[in-house]
Structure 1
């Protein structure tokens, strides 16, 4: 199986508090975890304690949403806390369609994190201001950031999942699936936030996607699914998703 350490994304277990995500990631066999912080400063200490108590690294902190103006207090707090917690990445999206403006905003985040272990990871999504891998890579290259690749978003933007990722720019990737990639959803954002399925349970060519990733790049398992959240407890859900991810990756060996 290719050497991609797996992380439990916050989106898989949104019914948990951030510190609980770390504990569940450890209990279900992940090497890493990601947390989504609604109140970064208030939640920082709980996450720090959980990281000290469990043998799990912190892959990412979510989520900075950039606009036309400079990062505000909440975005700056997310950056500060991500660095203090030792997260590898600060997950960032942009709602600003002007590429030059987004580049400047990403560069400001990069500057805020200078000297910390945390890098900015810009995620392209069809329903945001940065829609494609090419655009995200241009911005990241100029701003000194990295790119986060999600096969769902790449597919919906018309990108080829088999296209090799740029090792110099790819910070990490996500592993997810959708039931019917051939149909066009009426609301791509709703699909991404509510209707994902476990890796290998849908129709995305995840084997081709994983084969094109640089060796050692972490893979965050991200399955935001209303159905799974309603029918499985968080620990059971996290374990099932890890096993699905590992089965998928074994098929690429």
Structure 2
């Protein structure tokens, strides 16, 4: 079985700018990179230059956060820039609990990408409006987009990360771990802190990542997503990226 392509997510190296993430991904041996853009139009050219210089492709641009209201100029700028850069996916979450409203907003966002190589990838998280995998898949089917699967978020929502993923809906997946999956944080704020500050490298926690990856379609990319205050404080970005790539290798299939 071929290896899953491996991407360095922006969250692993938040101490780097977007163009630097691309360079770091290349220097540490990843196939792909993901960037988080605070000012998409202003940052676009630097990222484009980095992609032209380095042998990595752009997996995703982060992050559109949808609400009940219409798409914002920032949302539109992210979609425009993702398409201009040739990103495979535009990572999207929804803070709107009404599924019909979310579906309409996601479909509107997807329409901005008509003709582009970029697709919307909707990520379910227990602390957002789209809490479960089933809800994300319903929205994705209705809006014609894809779903991004993260084993930590699936586990915390009570979903089974090892359930076979629908190849028609699964855009890509994230590879991450958590030190104590058996103990669920007691409130949503604690879940947010865990996801944004306390992840651990793949294989150093308790999630069954082999089962998670085995349930994925064989060709989907794996984005290493380890947001960790501990690692950020103790390792430089390149060292961190290299360490996380090595940690991810046993789970990507094929040979290391």
Q: TM-score, normalised by structure 1?
A: 0.98
| Structure 1 CA distance for aligned equivalents of residues 208 and 255 of structure 2 | 11
Aligned counterpart, 1:66: 66
List structure 1 runs of 4+ shifted beyond 6 angstroms: none
Gaps of 5+ in 1: none
Q: How far did 1:61 drift?
A: 0.1
Q: What is the alpha-carbon distance in structure 1 between the residues aligned to residue 167 and residue 72 of structure 2?
A: 31
CA RMSD of aligned residues (A): 1.3
Work out whether residues 149 and 170 of structure 1, in 8 Å CA contact, stay in contact via their aligned partners in 2: yes
**Equivalent position SS for 2:41:** helix
Q: What SS does the corresponding residue of 1:239 show, helix, strand or coil? A: helix
1:95 paired to 2:95 = yes
Report if the CA contact (8 A) 1:196-1:224 is conserved.
Answer: yes
Superposed CA offset, 1:144-193 (max 9, x none)? 10000000000000011110000000000000000000001241011000
1:28-43 matched pairs, under 5 angstroms: 28-43=28-43
- Aligned-partner SS, 2:163: coil
- The match for 1:212 is 215
Provide the C-alpha distance between the structure 2 equivalents of 1:40 and 1:189, rounded to a whole number of angstroms. Answer: 25
Give the C-alpha shift of residue 247 in structure 1: 2.3
1:246 aligns with 2:238: no
Following superposition, the deviation at residue 250 of structure 1 comes to 5.0
Aligned residues: 253
Deviations 1:109-152 (A, max 9, x none): 01011011000000000000000000000000000100000000
State the 1:249 CA deviation.
Answer: 3.3
CA–CA distance in structure 2, aligned partners of residues 248 and 117 of structure 1:
27
| 1:1-253 map, 5 Å | 2-186=2-186, 187-249=190-252
Q: Contact 2:3–2:254 (CA<8 Å) still a contact in 1?
A: no
Contact 1:91 1:123 in 2 (8 A): yes
Deviation at 1:82, TM superposition (A): 0.2
Structure 2 unmatched runs, 5+:
none
SS at match of 1:173: strand
SS at match of 2:252: helix
Deviation, 1:16, is 0.1
In structure 2, do the counterparts of structure 1 residues 189 and 251 end up closer, same or farther at CA, with 3 Å as the change threshold? farther
Give, in angstroms, the shift of residue 237 of structure 1.
0.2
- Native 8 Å contact 1:127 1:188 kept in 2: yes
**Aligned partner of residue 23 in structure 1, secondary structure:** helix
Kindly state the Cα deviation for residue 252 of structure 1 after the two structures are TM-superposed.
Answer: 10
Are the counterparts in 1 of residues 3 and 252 from structure 2 also a CA contact under 8 Å? no
